[in-house]
Chains A and B, each alone.
Chain A
Amino acid sequence: MNCEAFEAILPDLLRHELPPEVQCEALEHAHQCPACEAEWTSLQHLWQGLQELPSPPDPALVARFQAALTPMSPRAKHPWLMNLALPFAAAVLLLLGGFAAGRSYAFRQIPHEDARLELLHQGRPSDRMLGVALLTQNGAPRDAPSAEMLLDRVEKDPSPQVRLAALEALYLFESQPEVSERLLKSLPHQTNPEVQAAQIELLLALREKRALEALRTMLGNPRLDATVRVRLQKSLAQL
């Protein structure tokens, strides 16, 4: 083996992904060639270091995740989530909420409206996600004030993830008449294409005819993100 061949197989040598005979040949070459040996030794040292960089599990994260999953189990004592029209969408909200729930709130209790309002205005996006999740919890009212709180997040929240979660939650508030109108009004002000797309999809689900126009306008933008374009084209095809 020459130096060039040795150099070419170094990535495989580092991962021990070579046939044994080729590995032996490569290492033999390294022993006989000071330059290749130095290269091998230094890169192997770094590679070893990369393998050993810690990625420790975080028990607190696991506990929060498990706490959030428990009520989703069909075998759970109180399968309240099964009552929701969109169990997996709600599961998604719960996961986010459950993550933040570990910080301060017992998830199965519906906090007072003030507490929900407080959460919705917290500094951390995951806390505001919890606020959104609590508004969709079984037993929580599907009323105008709750819809208002969610619409407020869609319009004002700085985090696109929170805005997306609020839009997801608004599927459960379809009977509230002001939802479509407010969503249409705020659509031109959304800066994130993913949020815009999600908002149009919600409007279409609410059978809002004016959303079609917004969808076509968005598709007419040549600078539209490719992933969002595909998603919107699918929505259009499904109509």
Chain B
Amino acid sequence: MQDHEHMEQVKAGHPEAMAELYARHHGRVLGYFLRLTRQRATAEDLVQEVFLRMLNYRNSFKSSAPFVPWMFGIAHRLHLDHCNRRTLEAGPEVLEAHADAAADTHHRVEHQSDQELLERALARLDPKKRELLLLSREPDLSYQELAQLMGCSLASIKVQVHRALKELRTRYLELQGGAR
């Protein structure tokens, strides 16, 4: 059964159909939030909330539309809400403390795999660019769908992804130079 068929069941009053969607997709949503928040507990809570919002907003799912872009649309908005909440509730000093802690992790160790370097380079990007790359790597999310999700044109999204990727390369090479 395909994703949208499970979602139709949820809409028809069978919330248990969400279990299969959760099993299929929670890993990629968890990866998305882990790399955006860099906090396991927060990422896990946000994953739960995405699926919870899907239950709440089940009627906004259109049967003719693909499921994954709708899911990432919810995840994207939830992340924006999360950032707003943090800005509102944590004073500037708390946010700076987080930034310092993140910066400290960048001064770690020497011999690292390409993947670790890439994770660290990604963490050094501006959050918007990081999110753009994390979403653009999703095979079920086209540039067109990404553009709709981000509220910009197709041409603009391609330019933004290209720029973000170039910046990622700069950060990666910096780390590679420092680590080896």
Instruction: Identify the A interface with B (CB < 8 A).
Output: 10-12, 14-15, 17, 42-43, 46-47, 49-58, 61-62, 65-66, 69-70, 72-75, 88, 91-92, 95-96, 99, 124-126, 158, 160-161, 191-192, 194, 225
Contact = CB atoms under 8 A, between A and B. Distances in A.
A126 B27 contact: no
A93 B35 CA distance: 26
B30 A11 contact: no
Q: Is the interface of A mostly helix, strand, loop or mixed?
A: helix
Contact of B16 (A14, A15, A69): A69
B69 to A, nearest CB: 15
Interface in B33-67: 35, 41, 44-45, 47-49, 51-52, 55-56
Interface in B136-162: 136-137, 142-143, 158-159, 161-162
A91 B55 contact: yes
Contact of A50 (B41, B48, B89, B133): B133
B96 interface: no
A15 B142 CA distance: 9
Contacts of A15: 136, 143
Contact of B45 (A72, A88, A161, A191): A161
A50 B118 contact: yes
B114 A49 contact: yes
B172 interface: yes
Contacts of A50: 118, 122, 133-134, 137
B153 to A, nearest CB: 13
A92 B56 contact: yes
A62 B23 contact: yes
A91 B15 CA distance: 8
B168 interface: yes
B55 A53 contact: no
7 contacts: A12-B158, A46-B165, A46-B169, A92-B52, A95-B55, A126-B41, A160-B85
B26 interface: yes
A158 B47 CA distance: 20
Contacts of A91: 15, 55
B41 to A, nearest CB: 7
Q: Pick the most buried of A74, A95, A96, A191: most chain B CB atoms within 10 A of its CB.
A: A95
Q: Is the interface of B mostly helix, strand, loop or mixed?
A: helix
Interface of B: 13-16, 18-19, 22-23, 26-28, 30-32, 35, 41, 44-45, 47-49, 51-52, 55-56, 81, 84-85, 88-89, 114-115, 118-119, 122, 133-134, 136-137, 142-143, 158-159, 161-162, 165-166, 168-169, 172
Nearest to A11: B158
Contact of A124 (B15, B41, B114, B168): B41
User: Which are the 8 A-B pairs with shortest beta-carbon distances?
Assistant: A55-B31, A57-B27, A73-B16, A11-B158, A50-B137, A49-B118, A55-B28, A72-B15
A42 B30 contact: no
Contacts of A12: 143, 158
B133 to A, nearest CB: 6
Contacts of B49: 96, 161
Contacts of A61: 26, 30, 44, 47
Nearest to B35: A53
A128 to B, nearest CB: 11
Given A61-B30, A126-B44, 6 more contacts: A15-B143, A50-B118, A66-B22, A73-B16, A91-B55, A96-B52
A166 to B, nearest CB: 15
Contacts of B122: 50, 53
A126 B45 CA distance: 7
